[in-house]
Amino acid sequence: MREYMCSSHTMSGVMPGSPRASRHGLDERLGACASAGYLGYWMHHRDYLEQKALGLDDDALRDLFDRHGMRHRGVEFLTGWFLRDDSTARQAERAAFDAAHAIGASVVNVGADFSGRGLQRQEMTRHFTALCARAADRGLSIALEIVPWSNVPDVEAALDFMAPANAGLVIDCWHIFRGGMTLPEFARIPPGRVLCVQVNDAAATPVGPLVEDTLRRRQCGEGTFDLTGFAAALDDAGAKVPFSVEIISAEAAALPVEEAARKSIAAARRVFG
């Protein structure tokens, strides 16, 4: 039987871009995840800052993860790492690395350029290598997410970033299928470089631009993605990480926290076992 992690968005109770990282308390979220059967949780670096502002120190945060049996731990979702003169990006990086240290995570998920700045691949890979070096100093790995509207839109582009020993990939089925990638492309990923797998589902046809349609995700098995083929292709490629359930939608955000946890993992188990 597969083990599952819960992505921060699945349990946040808010939509991406909200002023708050979550409308539910962290203890409440982790408790709901544990009761539903999740064995891990991805904490957003903004959530870490909110918990600190509420008065929770690093020891208290680690205790929450320990007490609720979260064996698998990660931090998401860092952007702007390629903007070296951006103070906000630097603060976010520090928060992500500090969050990982606090909860005992070893992987930080990151995204590339979503804003069409026109940065050259060589410049991006240079900044990514530097990010990985800074992460290595903290004992961390960096997982780069393939996103169709970013400047790392597919497996081929992502492989150019895999030179650092602590570099890996986030494989989200939504981005794979909506981005028009094929499952055999997973065979090109070097062994051990898939550090996070995210699962969800969607309607057959996108509604609006992908950057908007990604906010209309469905529970696993309630859409049209070939999720069985997706899992088999990753197994064949030697991916050995828990599946992280990432449901982003207004309907999911409106659910009570216990229902969000139960519904998301139950749907994933029906599809993946």
C-alpha dihedral sign at 12, 18, 21, 24? negative
pLDDT band at 48 (very low <50, low <70, confident <90, very high): very high
Whether the CB-CB separation of 6 and 40 falls below 8 Å is answered with: yes
**Which residue has tokens 């790995």?**
141
pLDDT of residue 250: 98
Q: Any alpha helices (H) in 171-249, and if so which ranges?
A: 173-178, 210-213, 227-236
CA 218 to chain centre: 16
Whether pLDDT at 1 is above 90: no
State the first-to-last Cα distance of the chain, in angstroms, to the nearest integer. Answer: 6
Whether pLDDT at 84 is above 90: no
Bridge-based pairing state of the strands 40-44 and 4-6? parallel
pLDDT band at 27 (very low <50, low <70, confident <90, very high): very high
pLDDT (tens digit per residue) in 222-264: 999 999 999 999 999 999 999 999 999 999 999 999 999 999 9
Whether the CB-CB separation of 167 and 128 falls below 8 Å is answered with: yes
The top-level CATH class assigned to 4-272 is: alpha beta
Structural domain boundaries in the chain: 4-272
pLDDT of residue 85: 85
pLDDT of residue 33: 98
pLDDT of residue 132: 98
Least confident of 70-79, 83-92, 162-171, 199-208: 83-92
Distances in whole angstroms, Cα of residue 163 to Cα of each of 126, 143, 192, 240:
10, 12, 13, 20
DSSP reduced 3-state for 109 = strand
pLDDT (tens digit per residue) in 155-210: 999 999 999 999 999 999 999 999 999 999 999 999 999 999 999 999 999 999 99
pLDDT of residue 16: 95
**Which residue has tokens 């597919």?**
154
CB atoms within 10 A of CB 176: 24
